[in-house]
Amino acid sequence: MSTHLPVISNSEMKTFRACRRLHHMQYDMLYRLAVEPEALRFGSLFHRGLEAWWIAKRSGVVEPLAHALEVVRADPGESDAFELVRAEELLRGYDCRWGDEPIEVVGVEVEFTASIVNPATGAASKTYRLGGKIDALARYADGRLVTVEHKTASSDIEPGSDYWRHLRLDVQIGTYLVGARALGHEPAECLYDVIGKPATRPLKATPEESRKYTEAKPERACGACRGKGAKAGETCPKCEGVGRLPGEPSRLYAGQRETDETVEEYRARLREHIAENPDRYYVRGTIVRLDEEEADDAYDRWATAREIAEARRLHRHPKNPDACIRYGRICDFHDVCTRTASLDDPARFRRAETAHEELTVTQPATTEAAE
């Protein structure tokens, strides 16, 4: 494989399949958002902690959780204290759930490059090579090696849900199996490690104008024993023989608050929720690729790479308005396409140095980026 060839990654191909204009802006012109959107910020923070946890496991650190927490606390980025607590508690739960699994960590954030092969001829592409970073490589007790893919998800991740059904066609899994083979491994399958993002948010004080209070109750005679303190010859259980019930002050309605939840109150509530619902937060599944599916994936990779080359050669980058809303949010470059924002606005966009900032492989600049 020629190492001078430009790399295309799974993310790049995914972007290209979704919208060629977006691909052009991100991978030819190298524009990125200047500030990471809030929706992606938590995922990045948690992923850093998870990476640290796996590195600690690989190094034989006795308490990988402590190492992971240290990493997220040291660099929380733009995250606020509550987001940090969310990441910390999710990491704590992860450690409880999977810490004792008997798997040996072979590598973490394993980078690869591989040939993009024409399945019809077996010839390698002379235009591009495939690049990527596998979250982890691990070995089971029986000796089988697997690729590990971590994902955070907001959707339902319970076994058998559409989330898992969709993975039978996920291109990234097949791509990373190819990547692991290029590194000389023979992965048997992919261990898909999904972490549900907590929907629990810090509770806010009820606005004063919306607050409702119960009526204050004065001290009164016990209704159960009619103020006698005894009923059928026995001490009244309601007033405990006193014959009167104490008064009750006016209280805020249940579900309403006078103050915002503190970070520690939020932590305690979130921790309890995670402990009570581990299946909602941590699910692992084995994903395999059958032989015919691998051949089909190879064909798709080859075809997509050809189309990317063709688009670049012809300078044709049509928009796909059907992909403006993905993952429940509008595209980060939507304002550019609708001419209400400029790529030259440094407050919104920045120029990346390479098309694949997450990879360290040599990345020759594309023609337009060089211009």
Partner 1 sequence: MTTNATANPSPIKLATTAAAPQKASRMALSNVVRGVLNEPLYVILYGVEGVGKSTFAAGAPSPIFLSTEGGTGHLDVARFPEVSTFAEALDAIRTLINEPHDFKTLVIDTVDHLEPLVHAHLLNGTKWKSLAEYGGGYGRGKEAALDAWRIFMKAVETLRKAKGMHVIFLGHCTIRTFKNPMGGDFDRYVPKMNEHAAGLIKESVGYVLFARYESFAKTDDDKRTRGFSDGTRLLHTQWSASYDAKNRGDLPAEMPLSWVDFEAATKAGAPKAEAKLRAEIASLIPSLPEEKRAAVQAAADGTTDLSRLAQILDRARALSAITTADANGAA
Q: Residue 356 and residue 8: Cα distance in Å, rounded?
A: 8
Instruction: Kindly tell me which of 5 and 84 has the beta carbon lying closer to partner 1.
Output: 5
CA–centroid distance for 352 within its chain:
23
Q: How far from 17 is each of 10, 12, 32, 333, CA to CA, in Å?
A: 11, 9, 18, 16
Residue with tokens 């119960």: 214
Q: Which is closer to partner 1, CB of 221 or CB of 288?
A: 288
Q: For residues 27 and 125, give the distance between their C-alpha atoms in angstroms, rounded to a whole number.
A: 19
Closer Cβ to partner 1, 2 or 362, answer by number: 2
**Six-digit token string for 291:** 């032989």
Provide the minimum distance between the beta carbon of 313 and partner 1 in the complex, in angstroms, as a whole number: 9
Please, what is the minimum distance in Å from the beta carbon of residue 218 to partner 1?
A: 48
Asked whether 192 and 287 are in contact (CB, 8 A), the reply is yes
Query: What's the closest the beta carbon of residue 363 comes to partner 1, in angstroms?
Result: 25
Question: In the structure encoding, which two tokens stand for residue 104, read together?
Answer: 């040996």
Q: What is the Cα–Cα distance from 322 to 176, expressed in whole angstroms?
A: 28
Of 101 and 279, nearer to partner 1 (C-beta) is 279
Distance CA 220, CA 77 (A): 57
Nearest distance from C-beta of residue 177 to partner 1, angstroms? 11
- Number of Cβ within 10 Å of residue 246's Cβ equals 10
Smallest gap from Cβ 64 to partner 1, in A, equals 24
DSSP label at 108? E
Q: Are 189 and 286 in contact (CB under 8 A)?
A: yes
> Site residues (CB under 8 A) for partner 1?
121-124, 142-144, 158-161, 164-165, 168, 188-189, 279, 285-292, 310, 314
Q: Which is nearer to partner 1, 127 or 200 (CB)?
A: 127
> Nearer Cβ to partner 1, position 117 or 130?
117
Cβ distance to partner 1 smaller for residue 59 or 155 = 155
Burial of 349 (0-12, 13-18, 19+ CB in 10 A): buried
Answer whether 20's CB lies under 8 Å from 320's CB: yes
- Report the chain's C-alpha Rg in angstroms: 28
Q: Give the separation between CA 126 and CA 266, rounded to whole angstroms.
A: 55
**Shortest separation between residue 128's beta carbon and partner 1, angstroms:** 15
Q: Least distance (Å) from partner 1 to the CB of residue 296?
A: 12
Give least dist CB 233 to partner 1, A.
48
- Residue 53 or 163: the one with the smaller Cβ distance to partner 1 is 163
Nearest to 238 by CA among 226, 256, 248: 226
